[in-house]
Amino acid sequence: MPHDHHQHDHEHTDPPSDLELRVKALESLLVEKGLVRPETLNSIIETYEHKVGPRNGAHVVAKAWTDPEFKQALMNDATEAVASLGYCGRQGEHLEVVENTNETHNLVVCTLCSCYPWTVLGLPPAWYKSAPYRSRAVSDPRGVLEEFGTELDDKKKIRVWDSTSEMRYLVLPQRPVGTESWSEHDLQQLVSRNSMIGVELARSPEQEDEGGK
């Protein structure tokens, strides 16, 4: 449900979790022992943050754009629909898809920590976990969107969805104009992680051409 009607029902703290501390300790040990270079770790993180993880979500979005039956299943029960493609989250974690329309744009945030649909989006970006984003996404969502280069019509409503450890949200971007004949595979290239969080729109064919499609 939207942020103004949604309450977190799990405890949040700012310090890193035990798992995060263990991962950091392991990273430090690997670097200290000379078993891995810092730039190699950064490269791996970059790959999973921007390439591998979000490709799962892009597959889900592109299939929803091209397969009406799948889209209906996704809107009815996103967790089950996504699992049918082989993308399964942790037990007890549910996924809900919210669709952008001509009237409404959706934006996802976790106001008290950084709950995030890892199954379909991979690693959460640093800015998503930052306090400024978590607060301003709620108080000034239009301003946040503009900082990402996303300018919406003043008449378009922005809905902010607050994720929890039990409920994660994925934005279904609007299908770009001019892609009616595109294949599901080609459409996936237009779907970015940021568009599935809601801070950006799906790329247009023109933008994809500029990127070297």
Q: Are 168 and 89 in contact (CB under 8 A)?
A: yes
Q: Is 110 a catalytic residue?
A: yes
Question: Which position among 115, 163, 192, 195 bears the catalytic label?
Answer: 115
Question: Which position among 17, 43, 113, 135 bears the catalytic label?
Answer: 113
Question: Which position among 84, 114, 165, 204 bears the catalytic label?
Answer: 114
The C-alpha atoms of residue 96 and residue 31 are separated, in whole angstroms, by 39
Q: What is the largest CA-CA distance in the chain?
A: 57
Q: Is 114 a catalytic residue?
A: yes
Q: Is 88 a catalytic residue?
A: no
Question: Which position among 110, 163, 192, 195 bears the catalytic label?
Answer: 110
Q: Which residues participate in catalysis according to the annotation?
A: 110, 113-115
